[in-house]
Structure 1
């Protein structure tokens, strides 16, 4: 399912216009992003939680040449599925 299909599905399920569903989805995504940028965790009980983790700098290897390269440190987003979501897909 892509973003357009999700918006269409949300609009149909909620009985609202596609424009309203798009605003709601963009608001949700913006708030999750803003919270993660602030270093906070986002948790939806039963669905899952998003958090930010710091990945340390490390050395890697270029598979084509075999040369060692330096990989910079960065923040990564992690998602952990909640129990209800896990049960729903199994």
Structure 2
């Protein structure tokens, strides 16, 4: 499902106009991104938690040349599913 389909489904279920749902969806996603950028968690009880995970710096071998290269530490967004979401997926 893409954003357009999500907006359509929410508009159908709520009776709101698609334009309004799109504005709310954009605001929600932007708020999540801004919170993660501050290295804070976003938790929806029962649904799941968005968080930032840090991957340590490491050395790898370039498969083409065999040369060892350094890869710097990175921060990546992660999602951990909550109890209700896991249950909903298992029952379908």
Return the TM-score normalized by structure 2: 0.89
Structure 2: state its 5+ residue gaps. Answer: none
3-state SS of paired residue (1:7)? helix
Q: Say whether 1:20 aligns with 2:28.
A: no
**Distance in 2 between the 1:3 and 1:53 partners?**
25
> Counterpart of 1:69 in 2: which secondary structure?
strand
**Residue equivalent to 2:7:** 7
Between 59-68 and 13-22, report the one with greater CA deviation. Answer: 59-68
* Counterpart in the other structure of 1:75: 75
Task: Please list, as runs of the form range in 1=range in 2, the aligned pairs for 1:32-71 lying within 5 A after superposition.
Answer: 32-71=32-71
**What are structure 1's unaligned runs of at least 5 residues?**
none
* TM-align CA RMSD: 1.2
CA distance in 2 between counterparts of 1:71 and 1:12 reads 47
Structure 1 residue 71: deviation in Å?
1.3
- Give the Cα–Cα distance (whole angstroms) in 2 for the partners of residues 6 and 22 of structure 1: 9
The aligned length equals 90
Q: Calculate the TM-score normalised by the size of structure 1.
A: 0.91
